[in-house]
Amino acid sequence: MPTVLITGVNRGLGLEFIRQYAAAGWTVLGTCRDPDSAGEARELAAAAPNVTLYKLDVGDAGAIAALADTLRGVAIDVLILNAGIMAERTGLGTFKAEDFRHVMNINVVAPALFIQAFADHVAASERKIIVGMGSTLGSIAGNNSGGLYSYRSSKAGLHAIMKTASIDLKDRGVIAIAMHPGWVVTDMGGNSADIQTEESIAGMMAVIDTLGPDHSGRLLTYAGEELPW
């Protein structure tokens, strides 16, 4: 069975990703900051022999390189860069430099370091797919409402990274895309969001399943529609 590596799997979209990939029989490698307190993810890993959790703070560049070393020789069919944050103060007149830099570090620098560290693992696999968890809020062409300075610019940065990786890794057969999961009920999405994690993840997995070289370098929704950068 194929192997998927997903970041930020202790709650929200990441947790549902490991649930559904585990149920589909994939070999599932998940990272979270604190596996000891990741109740549901830990229970899943204890019950399912195809699920393994790794402790990792994506803001720690050394830890990303160390995990890539630990997994050296493991072919990763699908790498999903899911861990992400939104700062509390993001409107004009409210945001602070330190919060802004932290959002950029987690949402932009970390995924870029992951791609750098894991390009060989993905290129050695059969499916060769890298998915960055982007957002409509990072679409510059689709920005009609303003606000959310750090989050919007971090997701636009992630989109740029996915597009760039699609070009740099094309010769190795790697498909790199950004995905918008929908507006989803999670701690980040809140309770008024449009859809539940089950629907978002089932949709994204179906889209990932059908990806080919022509999709590389695009921003796709969980329903498979293309969005403008």
Ligand X SMILES: NC(=O)c1ccc[n+]([C@@H]2O[C@H](COP(=O)([O-])OP(=O)(O)OC[C@H]3O[C@@H](n4cnc5c(N)ncnc54)[C@H](OP(=O)(O)O)[C@@H]3O)[C@@H](O)[C@H]2O)c1
Query: Contact region for ligand X (CB under 6 A) — 45-53, 70-78, 165-173, 183-191?
Result: 183-191
Strands 226-227 and 219-221: antiparallel
CB 158 within 8 A of CB 178: yes
The token pair that represents 94 in the structure block? 């409210």
Listed ranges 20-28, 82-90, 116-124, 216-224: which one lies at the site for ligand X (CB under 6 A): 82-90
What single-letter amino acid sits at 213?
A: P
The Cα-based distances of 29 to 4, 37, 41, 168 in angstroms read 6, 17, 11, 25
188 binds ligand X (CB under 6 A): yes
CA distance 78 to 126: 9
User: Does position 14 bind ligand X by CB under 6 A?
Assistant: yes
Stretch that binds ligand X, among 93-101, 140-148, 162-170, 184-192 (CB under 6 A): 184-192
Residue 51 phi/psi, 5-degree rounding, is -115, 125
Cβ proximity to ligand X: between 155 and 163 the closer is 155
Residues 50-69 binding ligand X (CB under 6 A) are 57-59
- Of the pair 12, 157, the CB lying nearest ligand X is at 12
Burial bucket for residue 76 (CB in 10 Å: 0-12, 13-18, 19+):
buried
In this structure, the number of other CB atoms found within 10 A of the CB of residue 33 comes to 17
d(CA 149, CA 179): 20
- In the list 2, 20, 24, 33, the residue contacting ligand X (rule: CB under 6 A) is 33
Interaction pattern, residues 126-165, with ligand X; x per rule: CB under 6 A:
-------x-x------------------------------
Q: How many residues bind ligand X (CB under 6 A)?
A: 27
Stretch of 21-29, 141-149, 163-171, 186-194 lying at the interface with ligand X (CB under 6 A): 186-194
204 touches ligand X by CB under 6 A: no
Residues within the interface to ligand X (CB under 6 A): 8, 10-14, 32-33, 57-59, 82-85, 106, 133, 135, 180-181, 183-184, 186-189, 193
